[in-house]
Amino acid sequence: MGIITFILIGSSLVFPAVALYALWWAGRNGQLTHSDKASLLPFTEQEPVGQMTDVVLNRPHPGTASNRVAP
């Protein structure tokens, strides 16, 4: 068994253990509470929830009223 095998086996045991510890720590310190509030953080008065304000490459989104051509 070479050094590569030792590194692969060791890392396959250490990485999941560190991930589980991080999840346990986050749960104990309140990092996982109120996750529904975090989803509303990107919204402001200029971009309210439920209103389409997307602009890609300085062109309005195809479904908005501002891209209609006046006759």
* Across 3-9, average pLDDT: 92
> Tokens at residue 65, please?
């009223």
* Across 15-44, average pLDDT: 87
Whole-angstrom Cα distance, residue 44 to residue 67?
23
Query: CA dihedral in degrees (12, 18, 20, 22; nearest 10)?
Result: -150
* Across 17-29, average pLDDT: 95
- Does the pTM of the predicted model rise above 0.85? no
* Across 25-42, average pLDDT: 82
Whole-angstrom Cα distance, residue 56 to residue 54?
7
Tell me the pLDDT tens digit for each residue of 34-70: 777 777 777 777 777 777 666 666 665 565 555 454 4
Give residue 47's pLDDT: 75
